[in-house]
Amino acid sequence: MHCGKYIKSQTVKLCIVVLHIDGIRSPLASRCYSHAKVETDEEFDARWVTYFSKPDIDAWELKKGMNTLIGYDLVPEAKILDSALRACRRLNDLASAIRILEAVKDKSGPHKDIYPYLIQELQPTLIELGISTPEDLGMDKL
Amino acid sequence: MFYSATLILVQSASSITCFLRLFTCTSLVSLGLNSHPPPPCLYPSPSLTRLSWSTLRTTMLHLTTGRVGCLLSKQAVVALTSSGARMSSHGHHEVSDSVDMSQPMYWDRLDTPLPDRPWKDVLDSTDKSLKQKEKGPWTALSKEEKIALYRLKFNHTYPEMKRPSHEWKTVIGGMFIFFGITGLVVFWQGHYVYPPQPHTFGEEWQAKQIQRMLDMRINPIEGFSAQWDYKNKQWK
């Protein structure tokens, strides 16, 4: 489709539209996938670690963060949980720290090996901050 | 007759199971036990579920008061006034069972580990001193203190939230009881209500009918008469 050089802007837009229509007539099929960048696992983890690492994080932000994180279809990495537990420490909230551990265990669902692995990874932090696991406190039984 | 019986059974079972669930929940409330809230949905609206559950319990209680005798309703009233899990943690004096939805609420949900407010709002002096101790190093806290801190902030632990209820036994048992009652009703109906059977159901008439059908060669290729051996005068 030929467009002359000295055409006003609106007509040029129309030309562009028409050219695009020409383009669809090409034999190659094009899928309508989104062109948004997919966040990698590392970026996701880093984002959440940063969220919980905020030095003056408040109780609401901790709650919101944890509830959102648990809402995702994944078990958070040890480094995110470490960051969250340290946030609990800054907020002087031991109960929430224990609750986070319980939530993560529940999140693993049928995969019983995830939770022991996470506890193993978090052991230094747990010892440092003095957080007892629900198992230590006998709260994993009815 | 079988068709009507099955229909009645199915209809009664379904409607009665629904009623039974209400009845069970009410009876559990009246016994002072906390029944399970509805299971968490994927996109939770906790305040709405809480509202509907509490209104349901209130309405069920009203049903009970109306339908069941004085004893049960007395128990229910006692249970409600004393069991106030919400009431024990609220500072203000609420006579009614309604929850103030404009305030942050507490709920035990598997998918919401940290609810909007702690379980116990009103802290006595021992709780307050424990909270002070919480500000220091947690290694200094004993196990009992840690458990106490958890119980201040949360009502049920995750295993307690996930505990199985025995409700299904009541439901199934009640279902069978109602099947039985319906069976009795159907039997009584068959005896007292149904008119006498038409004369065409009698043995003699049926025999004559079959003979006539065979003489007429009803469905001689694949069906009725095809099953009859005309030579030997018997069924094939």
- State the complex-level ipTM: 0.76
pLDDT, one tens digit per residue, over B121-170 is 899 999 999 999 999 999 999 999 999 999 999 999 999 999 999 999 99
Could A106 and B114 be called an inter-chain contact, meaning their C-beta atoms sit closer than 8 Å?
no
B167, exposed or middle or buried, with CB in 10 Å at 0-12, 13-18, 19+?
A: middle
Please give the pLDDT value at position B99. 84
CA angle A62, A67, A69 (to 5 degrees): 95
Between A19 and A34, residue with greater pLDDT: A34
Could A142 and B160 be called an inter-chain contact, meaning their C-beta atoms sit closer than 8 Å?
yes
pLDDT at B44 > cutoff 90: no
Please give the pLDDT value at position B100. 87
pLDDT at A107 > cutoff 80: yes
pLDDT, one tens digit per residue, over A114-130 is 999 999 999 999 999 99
Q: Using beta carbons and an 8 Å cutoff, which residues of B are at the interface with A? A: 110-116, 118, 134-135, 137-141, 143, 146-147, 149-150, 152-154, 157-160, 162-163
* B149 → closest Cβ in A71, A94, A138: A94
Rg, chain A, Cα only: 26
Contact indicator for B25, B57 with CB cutoff of 8 Å: yes
**Cβ-proximal residues to A99 (8 Å cutoff; 6+ apart), any chain:** B113, B114, B150, B153, B154
pLDDT at B195 > cutoff 60: yes
**Cβ-proximal residues to A100 (8 Å cutoff; 6+ apart), any chain:** A66, A81, A84, A85, A88, B113, B114
Which residues of chain B neighbour A140 with C-beta distances below 8 Å? 157, 159
Dist CA A77 CA A41 (whole Å): 10
Could A132 and B134 be called an inter-chain contact, meaning their C-beta atoms sit closer than 8 Å?
no
